Amino acid sequence: MSQKELEILSRIARAAGDGIMRIYSGAFQVDYKEPGDPVTDADREANTLICEQLLVHFPDAAIVAEESPSQSYTGYREHSRVFFVDPLDGTREFVARNGQFVVMIGLLVDDQPTLGVVYAPVTGTLWYGAPDLGAHRVERDGTQREIRVSDVASPEAACLAVSRSRRSERLKHVLRRVAPRQVVPMGSAGLKGAQVADGAADAYLALGPAGKYWDACAVEALVTAAGGRVTDACGRRLHYRSHLLELDEGLLAANVALHDALLARLGSATS
């Protein structure tokens, strides 16, 4: 991934964010794909804009986007380069108007997430990460800084970001057993991943169903570029070319030492 390609993806994410904010600032209708799974015109319009622009600039890549019909990406597993797109990650938060939502674009090359762009339209903050470029946070005024995951290695000393809307009894039980210093409920998988990448949170933990691969690709690329590790909650690597798109076994993102320590705690908490 070159600097020029990164700049293109950043512009696409910001343009999608501009459209999202236009709708966010007024009245909008909320529909439901299924119970508890809202969708708005902001999701759909951002999805269309991102996919159209990706096709223009990266015509040889496949695009797996949340609001696109599944038949549009049926053969994506045969492509070397695949974009995973969540045009509005955190629709529940968008509907609640609490500002905790992002635009996410992740690039998979072969079996490896190699670029993650996460853009928060409300604050104008953009995070990106790639192996050759490192991980950075870019503010609305254009200033940027390199970011790294925290060096907190002990679960008891850790700040854990967890879902605001998916607080299962299993998660509550595990958190009691793990006993972290702080638990921060937060919307948007991408926002939680970005908090881990820039050290604002020490880990992001989700148990059970944690969305789909468009919720993970950009996060994995970003956190990995910042020196961390991302797996499912059992410690297994994510297989973006599996026959299913669902993240059924949760997600765990943290620095390497804390990641290993949390996995050990998760095992003891569920045994």
The CATH number that applies at residue 73 is: 3.30.540.10
Q: What is the mean pLDDT of residues 235-240?
A: 96
Residue finishing a domain among 146, 165, 195: 146
The rounded mean pLDDT for the chain is 94
Q: Which residue in 54, 52, 22, 55 sits closest to 40, CA to CA? A: 22
| Band (268; pLDDT cuts 50, 70, 90) | low
Task: Tell me what pLDDT residue 106 has.
Answer: 98
Pairwise pLDDT comparison (242 vs 270), residue with the higher score: 242
pLDDT tens per residue across span 49-91 = 999 999 999 999 999 999 999 999 999 999 999 999 999 999 9
Mean pLDDT, rounded, for 102-115:
97
Give residue 164's identity as a one-letter amino acid code. R
Q: CA–CA separation, 175 vs 5, rounded Å?
A: 40
Domain boundary among 93, 119, 146: 146
Q: Given pLDDT bands bounded at 50, 70 and 90, which one contains residue 267?
A: confident
CA–CA dist 183, 172 (Å, integer): 10
Q: Are residues 127 and 245 in the same domain?
A: no
pLDDT tens profile 173-219: 889 888 899 999 999 999 999 999 999 999 999 998 899 999 999 99
Binned at pLDDT 50, 70 and 90, residue 269 comes out as low
Kindly state whether residues 139 and 27 are assigned to the same domain.
yes
Taking phi over 0 as left and psi of -120 to 50 as alpha, with beta for the rest, 171 belongs to: alpha
The CATH number for 247's domain is 3.40.190.80
What mean pLDDT comes out for the span 225-250?
95
Q: Which residues, other chains included, contact 245 with Cβ-Cβ below 8 Å and sequence gap of 6+?
A: 64, 212, 213, 214
pTM of the model: 0.95
pLDDT at 270 over 60: no
Q: How many domains does the chain have?
A: 2
pLDDT at residue 271, rounded to an integer: 45
The whole domain housing 32 covers 3-146
Domain final residue pick, 82, 116, 146: 146
220 plus 125 within the same structural domain: no
One domain for residues 81 and 185: no
In the chain, % of residues over pLDDT 70 = 97
**Whole-angstrom Cα distance, residue 24 to residue 81?**
32
pLDDT at 118: 98
235: Cα within 13 Å, side-chain hemisphere: 12
Burial degree of 84 (CB within 10 A; 0-12, 13-18, 19+): buried
Q: Residues 173, 265: one domain?
A: yes
